[in-house]
Amino acid sequence: MCTAISFKTKGAFFGRNLDLEYRYNETVTVTPRNFPLHFRELPEMQSHHAIIGMAFVAEGYPLYYDAMNEHGLFAAGLNFPENAVYMPKNATFENIAPFELVPRVLGQCSSAKEAKKLLARVNILNTDFSKELPNTPLHWFFADKEGSFAAEPLANGLRIYDDPLGVLTNNPPFEFQMQNLQNYPGLSPYEPELIFGSGAGLKPYSRGLGAVGLPGDLSSASRFVRAAFAKLNSLCGDSEEESVTQFFHILGAVEQQRGCVRLAEGKLEKTVYSSCASAESGIYYYKTYENSRICGVDMYRENLDGEKLVSYSLAAEQDVFIQN
């Protein structure tokens, strides 16, 4: 389970919750412009846009969960089981394996508009990274400062949907999620007036009951509604510090606490990490389940013309500030 959002104040911010029952030793990884990106069916990209994001680096290849390039284009892969359909090779399209899609698009495209054009000629292959790392059924969230869209590999090909809300979760497909929002026309952040009595000294009391009817469970459909409500009603200042803080509070509305989602064999799902990438500063911020402090990696402090990946292990132990 996962949730991805885009958020715009004076700047543009993008990120996600990654909800899983395990970790892959993921790191914040910078792919510089001259790191060669290999593809199974396409020519190697020896030069491309620089990329920063959360990745599991396997056999020297950055398997990005979510990432942003130096032009402020963001991409995230979210679990899409029982709906994702990967295809056999098709000579009339650019054939791209699922794990290659994020570096391919972010390496080539400077905007969401360019990404849409590239994806219109893409065929998502049913190709595993390796025997030990088989495909995960995914759909993708793309965003820049101008807008966002969802890309879903379905039986009739890769479908592109404009996403005016700037929100994506998992199943059901995006079209259903948007239709499901019509079930919540009365949601409001304002508090309904409740009168507990009319006797002497009793006054109308209306605190703490905004968003009556907002779904609170951890299903994908409910998280989609809740994330959209929190984002669209969210107010904060325009500074990067205020925006990043508010961004993590929005993701907090849909995070998963360990023990609330129980899987087979006693496995427990949780929000492994939350991320927020700033298009203006190039900083990739994150928090982990174990450490609620906001940490960050600045892509512009790295040599973006380099040829080697740069990876930073996550600060995964709680960091408490004792004030006395």
Catalytic residues: 2
d(CA 79, CA 20): 10
Tell me how far apart the alpha carbons of residues 258 and 19 are, in angstroms, rounded to a whole number. 10
Give pairs for 98-101: CB < 8 Å, separation 24+: 98/124, 98/125, 98/127, 98/135, 98/136, 98/138, 98/153, 99/61, 99/63, 99/129, 99/133, 99/135, 100/39, 100/40, 101/75, 101/77, 101/140
Residue 139 bridge partners (DSSP): 78
Rounded to whole angstroms, how far apart are CA atoms 130 and 91?
Answer: 23
DSSP class of residue 134 equals: -
H or E element, residue 180: helix 174-180
3-state percent breakdown (helix, strand, coil) of the chain, nearest 5: 20, 35, 50
3-state secondary structure (DSSP) of residue 231:
helix
Asked if 296 and 248 touch (Cβ cutoff 8 Å), the reply is: no
| Amino acid at site 270 | K
